[in-house]
Amino acid sequence: MTPADSKIDAATRLFGVFGDPVGHSLSPVMHNAAFRTAGVNGAYLAFRITDIAEGVRAVRALNMRGVSVTIPHKVSVMPLLDALTPLARNIGAVNTITNDDGMLEGDNTDAKGAADALARQTDLNGKRVAILGAGGAARAVAFGVKEKGARVTILNRTVEKGESLAAALDAAFLPLTDLRPDRYEVLINTTPVGMTPRIDAMPLPETALAPGMVVMDIIYSPLRTRLLETAEQRGCIVVDGLGMFVGQGAAQFERWTGKPAPLAEMTRRVAEALTPS
Ligand code: ATR
């Protein structure tokens, strides 16, 4: 199917993102571009959902094929589904619902999205990976890189929260202020520090960045965070938040359609949407 053929008809399957807010979500642009490129008869919309139980009932009532779940519903959606993948259960959060003939399965593709984006730059097996932050995003990223054989250290401002995540992962923990550059080959920021509008902020001092390190930021607004700018100046290899975002979306696309995701086109369309015209 070419883009010109991509009309909505009686066979079109409905997809969407459930969150609050969702007004700035890039998922519709990314998934609709993927559907058109791969010839999938689907339509993907953003739904501002305040009551997630009602949202899940809508998936069943409308026979939606797939839903992306975002803040604040990633945990509260779990008991409303019929099945969870082992990874979603381990991470304790769902970002993907797939409707297989009325059976709703919850999965988490954030882990794979992050790990695949990094793995395009470096083999993670045996690498020492420092993860800044201990929230839901850190948890997904940590499970993803661990699955590829990385040795994870969690660094967090609040000690108890960091220790608790490290214990769940069987990983090491250090307070954020104890970061030493020579101890890690990979560093990943999962905190919101540096996100729009406070774009001048850095989650760590620049002396924590050593040449040759792979530095990833999961923030994608802005795409070039101060952390990544500084890391690049200091001779690090940088991976921006687009990689993880498109990676989690690509894994959703493949689960929903059974087709390989058109990664290049998805990346291009999201980058375009992020670039002010
Ligand atoms: P998410 O689920 O999106 O990961 P979260 O659960 O709010 O969001 O987690 C945000 C993480 O960023 C937390 O680990 C938080 O540290 P604390 O546990 O100390 O709160 C971290 N974080 C947020 N703002 C920060 C800041 N200004 N400096 C350092 N860490 C920060």
pLDDT at 40 exceeding the cut of 60 = yes
Q: Is 39 exposed, middle or buried (0-12, 13-18, 19+ CB in 10 A)?
A: middle
pLDDT at 76 exceeding the cut of 50 = yes
Query: 275: pLDDT confidence band, cut at 50, 70 and 90?
Result: confident
Q: How far is the CA of 81 from the centre of ligand 1 (A)?
A: 28
With a pLDDT cut of 90, the percent of the chain lying above it is 90
What pLDDT digit, counting tens, does each position of 3-33 carry?
545 689 999 999 999 999 998 899 999 999 9
What pLDDT digit, counting tens, does each position of 59-74 carry?
999 999 999 999 999 9
Ligand 1 atom with minimal separation from the 158 CA:
19
Predicted model pTM: 0.88
What pLDDT digit, counting tens, does each position of 158-176 carry?
999 999 999 999 999 999 9
Ligand 1 atom with minimal separation from the 191 CA:
12
Virtual torsion, Cα 102, 103, 106, 107, nearest 10 deg: -100
Using a 6 Å CB cutoff, which residues line ligand 1?
A: 133-138, 156-158, 161, 190-193, 203
Nearest CA to ligand 1 atom 8: 135
Nearest CA to ligand 1 atom 15: 133
pLDDT at 4: 45
Tell me the catalytic residues.
Answer: 74
Q: How far is the CA of 65 from the centre of ligand 1 (A)?
A: 33
Q: Is 122 exposed, middle or buried (0-12, 13-18, 19+ CB in 10 A)?
A: middle
Pairing label, strands 151-156, 103-107 = unpaired
* Continuous segment of H or E residues that includes residue 17: strand 13-19
